[in-house]
């Protein structure tokens, strides 16, 4: 499974919303995937998606209420 995102950096003004699009190859449903977006450590994380749901319990405080898959 390969996940690819935009070919260039995305520049957004602070406080603005942004959608970070990605594509899976081969195409498949995300229902059975576990995806974690993190800065330097796996926990706390920026966002986690597992078992078909967004997981917020150990999310970094500054991202609570700001992310979803």
Taking only the tens of pLDDT, the chain with its 69 residues reads 888 888 898 899 988 988 888 888 888 777 788 889 888 877 799 999 998 899 999 899 999 988 988
pLDDT at position 41 is 75
- Please state the pTM of the whole predicted model: 0.71
pLDDT at position 45 is 93
pLDDT at position 15 is 86
The DSSP code for 45 is B
Q: Is residue 47 within 8 Å of residue 67, measured between CB atoms? A: yes
- Output phi, psi for 25, to 5 deg: -135, 120
């Amino acid at each position: 499974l390969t996940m690819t995102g935009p070919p260039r950096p995305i520049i957004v003004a602070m406080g603005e919303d942004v959608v970070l699009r990605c594509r899976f190859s081969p195409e498949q449903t995300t229902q059975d995937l576990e995806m974690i977006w993190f800065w330097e450590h796996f926990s706390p994380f920026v966002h986690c998606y597992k078992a078909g749901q967004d997981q917020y319990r150990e999310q970094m405080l500054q991202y609570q209420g700001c992310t979803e898959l």
